[in-house]
Amino acid sequence: MEIEGDKIKHTPEACAGNIRPVKDALYVLSGKWKLPLIGALMDGPQRFNELQRFLGDITPKVLSKELRELELNEFVERKVFSTVPVTITYELTPYSQSVEKIIDELRKWGIEHRERIIKNRKSSTAA
Amino acid sequence: MEIEGDKIKHTPEACAGNIRPVKDALYVLSGKWKLPLIGALMDGPQRFNELQRFLGDITPKVLSKELRELELNEFVERKVFSTVPVTITYELTPYSQSVEKIIDELRKWGIEHRERIIKNRKSSTAA
DNA sequence: CTGCATCCTATAGGATACTG
DNA sequence: CAGTATCCTATAGGATGCAG
């Protein structure tokens, strides 16, 4: 997994070290798909194809990779059901609940941001 | 700025559209430095070099680029003071406060995550 | 001090085709 | 259905050096 060492040299006073946790978090969670993927799974277990449709334009290769990584980080559990044909689902682990707040904030912000942009478009068109 | 169109085709029922805002947010905020940078500025106005030291290993080119983008998105204001030599500071705009919650959550999560990893290391070493 | 210009590489992620 | 295998490209971001 790798967390970068404690290399940050900050002015002793200040707040400094405060950003290290942010960088730590980003190290695991950043990328185009991880958060949206977890967001998608917040609605309950999903199958591979469901996720693919859900996310809109992710390719199987990438989806597969992202799921594997999320499994390694213990955000996601892969379950195999011995139906015919076999059914496989992905679902969030209890641990991943710790990420849900981030996603909620991101979601809220995304909504506001989109509105803001639309407003700005209007007012600049009016000029 | 560009927000991707409403191309997500989700099963009509489900929750689906819920992830679009997440993707919107990520479109603007993702990358290695934007969030840490805003996090750094949460402690008050900073100068170019301060930020560079603060963030640990960002190159001037990248820092410069990130700052420009944050300025465009109205998260950051660049202020020039006519001292000799000129002093330039970067500070967060009121709008960027809307992102602070995200950063706080990220920070909290980063701290927990690091602790978790350390614990796991110990227990797996014990095996 | 505050950057910009140039060059360079690693990696994320897309396209396409194929398998059990 | 649930992926894997290959190939390919765009882009983020690092290294270095220079400039006002």
Q: What is the pLDDT of residues A59-69, one digit of tens each?
A: 999 999 999 99
From A70, A69, A88, A91, select the one nearest A80 (Cα to Cα). Answer: A88
CA dist A89 and A93 (Å) reads: 12
Amino acid A65: pLDDT: 97
CB contact under 8 A, A25 and B107: yes
pLDDT digits (tens, 9 = 90+) for A87-97: 999 999 999 98
* β-bridge mates for residue A92, sequence order: A76
Confidence of residue A117 (pLDDT cuts 50, 70, 90): confident
- The DSSP string of A25-63 is HHHHH-SSSHHHHHHHHTTS-EEHHHHHHHHSS--HHHH
CB contact under 8 A, A36 and B22: yes
CA dist B120 and B3 (Å) reads: 40
Q: Look at residue A6 and tell me whether its pLDDT is greater than 80.
A: no
Query: In chain A, which residues have their Cβ closer than 8 Å to the Cβ of B25?
Result: 106-107, 109-110, 113
pTM of the full structure:
0.85
Positive/negative CA dihedral, A102, A9, B74, A33: negative
Distance, CA of B19 to C1' of C7, in Å? 38
Q: Mark residues 89-118 of chain A whose C-beta is closer than 7 A to nucleic acid strand C.
A: none
